[in-house]
Amino acid sequence: MNAVANRSASAFYIPSLDGIRAAAVLLVFAAHAGLNERVPGNFGVTVFFFLSGYLITTLLRMEWDKRGRISLKDFYLRRALRILPPMYIVLTVASLLTAFGLLQGSLDVGALAAQAVHLSNYYIVANGWWDGRAPGTWIYWSLAVEEHFYLVFPLVYIWLRRHSNRKQQMLVLMGLCALVLAWRFILVFALGAEKDRLYVASDTRVDSILFGCALAVYGNPVLDKVRGSDRWWKYVWLPLGLAGLLVSFLVRGFEFEQVFRYSLQGISLFPLFIVAIRYPDWAFCRILNWRPVKFVGVVSYSFYLMHPTILWAVNQWTSWHPVIQAMAGLALTLSLSTAMYFGVERPMATIRKRLSRIGTAAAKVEMVHSTRNQPRPILQVAESTSN
């Protein structure tokens, strides 16, 4: 049995992942702060999706290896404690500010209800982006995609563990990604679907999460020995992944962007995640592990929830230069998300640890070298609340 499966952990810390979170959320922030034409903010959301699939599947795999089963009750309760408190707090405050006229916008009971029950993405498809919700809370569409994934995927994973080996699990998950790609193809070329239908709907975006799941079940850089030499991953596969991402950013056209872009980005993220996790002290990975960068990653969930509303408020309440507004929005968002982290997220994380089927301690991945000078992960106890 893998060394990881012999250790207990309710949540584990993996070098570089907080840095990846920080990079993703800052991409989204920069786009919303006025650089949408120059910064691929949409890619930041795709990275979050991939990361969610990877982490959740890794945790499920660890639980199965440790216990021989997965507690669905505990899984859903842990997810609720992680996702819902900050989400409902931000939604409530933003809606109250809008109701009292402090934020310009309109509220509609149906739109708010859709947000509250994680259907905001399909509400956007049916009714558009802007009316009926507090300013900035439009981003709840991405939470809806993830919540739909959380609802279904544990059942899928349990079935896969009972009926297939890890390589077969990976092939099934990649097959599902191919089906989603085919579905987008049909929607665009046969049914004439519009951008919003393709961009926010769970059935057209879930493959971005499933790519991360596929990495978690086979070739997982935390749980498995990664095939290939260090040189190949650093100097061949990583450049190819970066080239794939560059193509996804530069190639224009509705059909490519809405049909193929998400698949190309999902495949291209494999070597980036593997290299970032396996070699945290190498090259650009060092930046991902700087303390200030990691801290932004730690508070990234609340940061993501708050930043559009804060940017909207700063723009509405001030007449400053856009650069000054963006800087003020960044400072305010970071301050409030830090307060949310220490006041809400960490206490909820303590409760989640008590509920974990994997154990009561978190784990930290420490890199050691095999006789082939290829790092293997060893879990050691450390605190983490970022899963």
Q: What is the mean pLDDT of residues 229-254?
A: 94
**Predicted confidence band of residue 284 (pLDDT cuts 50, 70, 90):** confident
Q: pLDDT value at position 121?
A: 95
Q: pLDDT value at position 355?
A: 66
**Predicted confidence band of residue 376 (pLDDT cuts 50, 70, 90):** very low
Query: pLDDT per residue over 4-31, tens digit each?
Result: 333 344 446 788 999 999 999 999 999 9
Q: Supply the pTM of this predicted model.
A: 0.88
**C-alpha to C-alpha distances, 59 to 4, 52, 55, 270, 358, nearest whole angstrom:** 11, 11, 6, 18, 8
Q: pLDDT value at position 387?
A: 52
Q: pLDDT value at position 166?
A: 94
Structure token pair of residue 252:
């224009």
Contacts of 86 (CB under 8 A, 6+ apart): 301, 302, 305, 340, 344, 345
Query: pLDDT per residue over 125-139, tens digit each?
Result: 999 888 899 999 999
